[in-house]
Amino acid sequence: MSNSDTAGKQSGGKKPALETLAIHAGSEIDPTTGAVVPPIHLSTTFQRNVDGTFPQNYVYTRADNPNRRALETCLAALEGGAACAAFSSGSAAAAALFRSLSPGDTVLVCDDLYHGVHHILVDILEPWGLNVVFADMTDLDATRAAWVDGVRLVWLETPTNPLVKVSDIAAIAEMAHAKGAKLAVDGTWTTPAVQRPLELGADFVMHATTKYLGGHSDVLGGALIAKESGTKEDGTKESGTKEDGTEEAGEMFAKVRYIQQIEGAVPSPFDCFLVLRGIRTLPYRMRAHSDNALALAQFLEAHPQVHRVHYPGLESHAGHHIAQKQMAHFGGMLSVQIRGGADAAIAVTNRVKLFSRATSLGGVESLIEHRRSIEGDISTTPADLLRISVGLEHPDDLIADLQQALG
Strand order across the 83-87 sheet: 83-87, 222-226, 204-207, 182-186, 151-157, 106-110, 131-135
Strand partners, 2: 28
Is pLDDT above 60 for 42?
yes
**In the prediction, which pLDDT does 8 show?**
43
pLDDT at position 247: 66
Which of 132, 113, 281 is closest to 188 using CA atoms?
113
Query: Tens of pLDDT along 337-389?
Result: 999 999 999 999 999 999 999 999 999 999 999 999 888 777 889 999 999 99
Split at pLDDT 50, 70, 90, the class of 233 is low
Output the pLDDT for position 379.
83
Confidence of residue 15 (pLDDT cuts 50, 70, 90): confident
Q: Quick one: pLDDT at residue 94?
A: 98
Mean pLDDT score of the chain: 93
pLDDT, residue 375, reads 85
How large a percentage of the chain has pLDDT more than 90?
A: 87
Mean pLDDT of 306-335: 98
Amino acid 117: pLDDT: 97
Angle between helix 395-406 and 341-351 (nearest 10)? 130
User: Each residue of 168-213: pLDDT tens digit?
Assistant: 999 999 999 999 999 999 999 999 999 999 999 999 999 999 999 9
pLDDT tens-digit series, residues 289-306: 999 999 999 999 999 999
**What percentage of residues in the chain have a pLDDT greater than 70?**
93
10 Å Cβ neighbour count for 15?
Answer: 12
Catalytic residue list: 62, 114, 186, 211
User: Which pTM does this prediction carry?
Assistant: 0.93
Note whether 406 and 348 are within 8 A (CB): yes
The answer, yes or no, to whether the previous bond of 162 is cis (omega within 30 of 0) is yes
Average pLDDT of 70-91? 98
| Rounded Cα gap, residues 407 and 327, in angstroms | 34
Q: Who contacts 359 (Cβ-Cβ below 8 Å, separation ≥6)?
A: 367, 369, 374
Residue 3's pLDDT is 40
Cis peptide before 159 (omega within 30 of 0): yes
d(CA 172, CA 176): 6
pLDDT at 2: 39
Is the pLDDT assigned to residue 7 strictly greater than 90? no
The confidence score (pLDDT) of residue 242 equals 55
- R_g (Cα) of the chain, nearest Å: 22
pLDDT of residue 6: 40
Q: Which helix (H) or strand (E) holds 347?
A: helix 341-351
Kindly report which listed range (48-52, 106-110, 118-122, 131-135) carries the lowest average pLDDT score.
48-52
pLDDT score recorded for residue 230: 73
- Average confidence (pLDDT) over 141-163: 97
Is-contact 155 108, C-beta < 8 A?
yes
Reported as a pLDDT band with limits 50, 70 and 90, residue 14 is: confident
Residue 93 has pLDDT above 50, yes or no: yes
Q: Residue 404 and residue 353: Cα distance in Å, rounded?
A: 9
Mean pLDDT value of segment 41-54 = 93
pLDDT at 12: 60
* Cβ neighbours for 28, distance < 8 A, ≥ 6 positions apart: 2, 3, 4, 38, 70
- The Cα–Cα gap between 184 and 196 comes to 12
Position 56 scores a pLDDT of 87
Q: Determine the residue type at 287.
A: R
Distance of CA 279 to the CA centre of its chain: 13
Cβ–Cβ contacts within 10 Å for residue 176, how many? 24
Q: Is residue 161 a contact partner of residue 112, using CB atoms and an 8 Å limit?
A: yes
| Amino acid 115: pLDDT | 93
Ranges of H-type helices in 40-131? 66-79, 90-98, 115-119, 126-128
Domains in the chain, please, with CATH? 40-279 (3.40.640.10), 283-406 (3.90.1150.10)
| Separation of alpha carbons 105 and 132, rounded Å | 9
